């Protein structure tokens, strides 16, 4: 420590300086640190991972389609990020509590969130849908980075309960600039809390390249807070499973927080409202298309004879069912009753809300509108 601490030459923009297990051609490569964590992952499991990624992709495409057709106000595409979402969620225990941002649909899929619950929020019917305690996933966070502190607090609660769960904070490369994310690392490190930070570095925060948030790799930030980290190929689902198992094991065994930077790429626009042609080259897309998270798994499975038409058809059928359910949940859905505006502001009776609700109900009555009072 008495030395001048000069950051190594690594660059945040070097997307090849990562640990991986499946390269972009689908070839299995060795990694000393990651290999031990996936010793049990056989072909059947890999097919399962593939299926969940494929479902995530279809779910995502359906979200975009529903938005284009006017059924959703907005959609935040996840295309290209299926491996980190599915792989890390898959590596957790069912009762580990995950705190995602708005783009982490793959982890919700893995946790069994119902098709309708992927569209209700973007449809505009509700601010959140599924029961977070049923699936152990908090409702997606929109305020960039805020959920990282919630995950740490939850982990502090686990420590107090003596539970053997962990909490997981998911966020993006842009979020790494927020004070909250850094404070989350401070609290987690000080208390040695069982939390894993997963930064999905998809190279962009809307129009801003990662180099504006960090010159040095984001994974390099955690050790300075006393938190071990790993920088992995976020498009390699095996590496994602392995890294998450390493991190979760570290956290679960009482050694405190761990950090994963998953280097991936946002293939689509930031949201359906965004126009990425204003700020990025299509060359980039070609580069990353060749590194697709699904393609490499398919190639690997084919190379070991575990990917055939029957499997593909089964996956497609699952996805068809899933997306059909999404669609039917939202197409032709009745608008919410007006007085729902007043529901759940408080958990206990509140004179102010009661008065306003009653006044508004009387006002609606004047129009013959049924407020839909509970």
Partner 1 sequence: MTQLTMGKALTAGLRRALADDDKVLIMGEDIGALGGVFRITDGLQAEFGPRRVLDTPLAESGIVGTAVGLAFRGFRPVVEIQFDGFVYPAFDQIVSQVAKLHYRTQGQVRMPLTIRIPWAGGVGAAEHHSESPEAYFVHTAGLRVVACSNPQDAYTMLRQAIACDDPVIFLEPKRLYHAKGGVELDGDIADAAPLGLANIVRPGSDVTVLTYGAQVTTALDAALAAEDEGISLEVIDLRSLSPVDYGTIAASVRRTGRVVVTHEASREGGVAAELIASVTEKCFHFLEAAPVRVTGHDVPYPPAKLEQYHLPDLDRILDAVDRVLGRPNSMSEVSA
Ligand X SMILES: Cc1ncc(C[n+]2csc(CCOP(=O)(O)OP(=O)(O)O)c2C)c(N)n1
DSSP 154: H
Residues 268 and 204: beta-carbon distance below 8 Å:
no
Q: Does the annotation mark 266 as catalytic?
A: yes
Which one of residues 13, 43, 69, 190 is an interface residue with partner 1 (CB under 8 A)? 190
Q: How far apart are CA 125 and CA 121, in angstroms?
A: 6
Q: Rounded to an integer, what distance in angstroms lies between the CA atom of residue 228 and that of residue 118?
A: 33
Nearer to partner 1, 2 or 133 (CB): 133
Please give the angle made by the CA atoms of 257, 260 and 264, to the nearest 5 degrees.
160
Q: Identify which of residues 182 and 271 has a Cβ nearer to a copy of itself in the complex.
A: 182
Query: What Rg, from alpha-carbon coordinates, does the chain have?
Result: 22
Which of 70, 305, 332, 335: binder of partner 1 (CB under 8 A)? 335
Distance (Å, whole) CA 209 – CA 215? 10
Say which DSSP state 236 is in.
-
Q: Nearest CA to 263 among 296, 227, 224, 291?
A: 291
User: Shortest approach of a copy of itself to residue 168 CB, angstroms?
Assistant: 18
Which one is catalytic: 266, 296, 327, 357? Answer: 266
Tell me the per-residue interface mask from 128 to 147 with partner 1, x by CB under 8 A, - otherwise.
x--xxx----xx--xxx-x-
Tell me whether residue 71 is one of the annotated catalytic residues.
Answer: no
Q: Which residue among 37, 90, 170, 187 contacts partner 1 (CB under 8 A)?
A: 187
Q: How far is the CB of 226 from a copy of itself (least distance, A)?
A: 3
Partner from a copy of itself, Mg ion, ligand X, none contacting 179, C-beta within 5 to 8 A by type: a copy of itself
144-173 residues in contact with Mg ion (CB under 5 A) are: 172-173
254 is a site residue for partner 1 (CB under 8 A): no
* Min dist. Cβ of residue 177 to a copy of itself (A): 5
Both structure tokens of 67: 């938005």
Both tokens of residue 268? 């689509």
CA 259, CA 169: separation in Å to the nearest integer?
9
**113: contact with partner 1 by CB under 8 A:** no
């Amino acid at each position: 420590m008495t030395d001048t601490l000069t950051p190594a030459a690594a660059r945040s923009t070097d997307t090849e300086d990562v640990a991986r297990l499946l390269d972009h051609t689908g070839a299995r490569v060795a990694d000393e640190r990651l290999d031990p964590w996936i010793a049990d992952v056989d072909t059947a499991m890999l097919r399962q991972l593939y299926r969940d990624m494929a479902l995530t992709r279809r779910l995502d495409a359906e979200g975009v389609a529903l938005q284009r057709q006017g059924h959703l106000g907005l959609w935040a595409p996840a295309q290209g990020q299926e491996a980190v979402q599915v792989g890390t969620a898959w590596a957790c225990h069912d009762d580990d509590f995950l705190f995602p941002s708005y783009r982490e649909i793959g982890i919700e899929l893995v946790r069994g969130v119902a098709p309708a619950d992927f569209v209700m929020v973007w449809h505009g019917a509700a601010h959140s849908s599924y029961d977070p305690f049923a699936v152990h996933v908090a409702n997606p966070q929109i305020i960039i980075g805020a959920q990282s502190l919630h995950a740490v607090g939850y982990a502090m609660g686990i420590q107090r309960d003596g539970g053997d769960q962990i909490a997981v904070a998911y966020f993006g490369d842009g979020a790494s600039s927020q004070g909250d994310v850094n404070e989350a690392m401070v609290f987690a490190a000080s208390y040695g809390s069982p939390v894993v930070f997963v930064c999905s570095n998809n190279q962009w925060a809307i129009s801003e390249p990662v180099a504006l948030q960090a010159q040095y790799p984001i994974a390099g930030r955690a050790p300075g807070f006393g938190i071990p980290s790993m920088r992995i190929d976020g498009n390699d689902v095996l590496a994602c499973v392995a890294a998450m198992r390493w991190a979760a094991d570290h956290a679960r065994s009482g050694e405190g927080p761990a950090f994963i930077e998953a280097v991936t790429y946002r293939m689509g626009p930031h949201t359906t409202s965004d126009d990425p042609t204003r700020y990025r080259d299509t060359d980039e897309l070609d580069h990353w298309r060749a590194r697709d998270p699904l393609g490499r798994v398919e190639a690997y499975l084919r190379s070991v004879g575990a990917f055939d038409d029957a499997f593909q058809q089964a996956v497609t059928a699952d996805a068809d069912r899933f997306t059909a359910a999404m669609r039917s949940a939202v197409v032709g859905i009745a608008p919410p009753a007006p007085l729902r505006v007043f529901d759940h502001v408080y958990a206990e009776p509140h004179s102010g809300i009661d008065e306003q609700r009653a006044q508004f109900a009387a006002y609606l009555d004047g129009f013959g509108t049924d407020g839909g009072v509970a």
